[in-house]
Amino acid sequence: MTDERPLRTAEIIAVGSELLGSTRLDTNSLFLSERLAGLGIELRTKSVVGDDRAAIRTLFEHALARADVVILTGGLGPTDDDLTRDAVADALALPLEEDAAIVEMIERRFARRGLRMPAVNRKQALVLKGATVLTNPLGTAPGQFLEHLGRVVLLLPGPPRELQAMMDRVVAGPLGARAGHERLLRAVMFVTGRSESHVEELTQPLYSRWRDSEPRIDTTILAGPGHIELHLTMRSEDAERAGEALTQARDQLVAAVGPDVFSLDGRHMEQVVGDMLRERNLTIAVAESCTGGLLMSRLTDVPGSSAYVLGGAVAYSNHAKILLADISPDLLAEHGAVSEAVAVALAEGIRSKTGANIGVGVTGIAGPTGGTPTKPVGTVSIAVVDPNGTARVRTLLFPGGRAQVRFQATQAALDMVRRMVAAT
């Protein structure tokens, strides 16, 4: 190693003409920025460039003049439009040398599938003079790790799975070793049922103090669909002490916000509810109207949900409510389809029809039409019947368009289940 100065800054260049079009997005840089942050390396700039040798070269030269680490992703394949190796070689005035071991590895990879290696694949064995080869067990394009005048140049393959596995090895290996001892630690909490500004009001008096504490903790509040996220980050060379400080800080925020906090580990609502149901051996069934199956879809998005989801019905029309959830026509006529009485009847009906421990009923007006002065668009009644047969019901008014109303209705329904199960 020529230079032991720790790496502090990075740039990412995503290579691929398809990433400039309207159908493909550069997602590799999202993953890479997370891993860089974990090493305490600050991502300064990222860019996307087409399969153009001169353009890649120019961009790379500018990046290398500014950042300690430059990561290029994509363009390591065997075809004519895979130009990353050549562009970097041009910029650094380094020769590309064929690596016999890589040729052999690619040949074996083809042979395993009973194929002969096409001649073009030899190109993937070209390595920048002085670079370390990063093998690619998931594909043919190897990566390259090069130390150049105290900086690091990293060439990674475009396919996300291949890139991620390779980056994790580089982080655990040569990149981590050069990154200095400071690490970025993060704690997250998800909150539902409160607005961003309300969460801010509750937490700001606490976290504003931590900005000036030693070590300092930064707090970010982000509004997501149906929930608010708080991210706490801290840089420290002592991961253990920092981890404790961060947990203490987070616990203070949890105490301030209370039971509206539903996740401390990045799990989303359907996962949190699913885990609670599984732990307690409870089953659930839902009868949903305005959410059109979205609630059931979210519940069953969770792998293993068959352990607690029995089934349900999309009871969209009045007739379907009568047929699928045993709602009485008189009840519908008396209260209207969007009412607390009907929400409770949906939950009770589906619970008794399926034999589930917990029944959920959702009925509302997703819009954009169908609102009335007393029941405007966004009005949703949600009922949850607990294992004892006791019903809880709420009517909420959600802002936004049809998709937002529907999603928030499922989030509120899941949250009612969460609170009910937590209390039993």
Give 82 or 260: the residue with its C-beta nearer to Mg ion. 82
Cα 242 from chain centroid (whole Å): 24
Rounded CA separation 331/147 (Å)? 75
Dig out the tokens for 232 from the structure.
């706490």
CB of 132 to ligand ATP, least distance (A): 17
CB of 88 to ligand ATP, least distance (A): 13
288 binding ligand ATP? (CB under 6 A): no
Say how many CA atoms lie within 13 Å of 225 toward its Cβ.
Answer: 12
Q: Token match 């589906």: residue?
A: 350
CB of 144 to Mg ion, least distance (A): 15
CB of 79 to Mg ion, least distance (A): 6
141 binding ligand ATP? (CB under 6 A): yes
The per-residue DSSP string of 65-124 comes to HH-SEEEEES--SSSTT--HHHHHHHHHT--EEE-HHHHHHHHHHHHHTT-PPPGGGGGG
Give 163 or 294: the residue with its C-beta nearer to Mg ion. 163
Per partner kind, with CB cut-offs from 5 to 8 A, the member of ligand ATP, Mg ion, none near residue 28 is ligand ATP
364 binding ligand ATP? (CB under 6 A): no
Give 141 or 344: the residue with its C-beta nearer to ligand ATP. 141
143 binding ligand ATP? (CB under 6 A): no
Exposure string over 138-150, b if 16+ CB within 10 A, otherwise e: ebbbbbbbbbbee
Asked whether 17 and 50 are in contact (CB, 8 A), the reply is yes
18 binding ligand ATP? (CB under 6 A): yes
Dig out the tokens for 424 from the structure.
């039993």
CB of 158 to ligand ATP, least distance (A): 3
CB of 14 to ligand ATP, least distance (A): 4
Give 120 or 172: the residue with its C-beta nearer to Mg ion. 120
Rounded CA separation 279/276 (Å)? 5
161 binding ligand ATP? (CB under 6 A): no
> Mask: binding to Mg ion, 79-98, rule CB under 5 A, as x and -?
---x----------------
Rounded CA separation 39/324 (Å)? 55
Among residue numbers 67 through 96, which ones bind ligand ATP (CB under 6 A)? 73-77, 82
CB of 234 to ligand ATP, least distance (A): 29
Per partner kind, with CB cut-offs from 5 to 8 A, the member of Mg ion, ligand ATP, none near residue 52 is none
Q: Which residues contact 133 (CB under 8 A, 6 or more apart)?
A: 99, 101, 102, 127, 142, 143, 144
Rounded CA separation 237/6 (Å)? 13
Burial class (CB in 10 A: 0-12, 13-18, 19+), 403: exposed
Number of residues that bind ligand ATP (CB under 6 A): 21
Per partner kind, with CB cut-offs from 5 to 8 A, the member of ligand ATP, Mg ion, none near residue 226 is none
The DSSP 8-state label assigned to residue 424 in this structure reads -
Which positions lie near Mg ion, rule CB under 5 A? 77, 82
Residue numbers of the site for ligand ATP (CB under 6 A)?
14, 16, 18-19, 24, 26-28, 73-77, 82, 139-141, 157-160
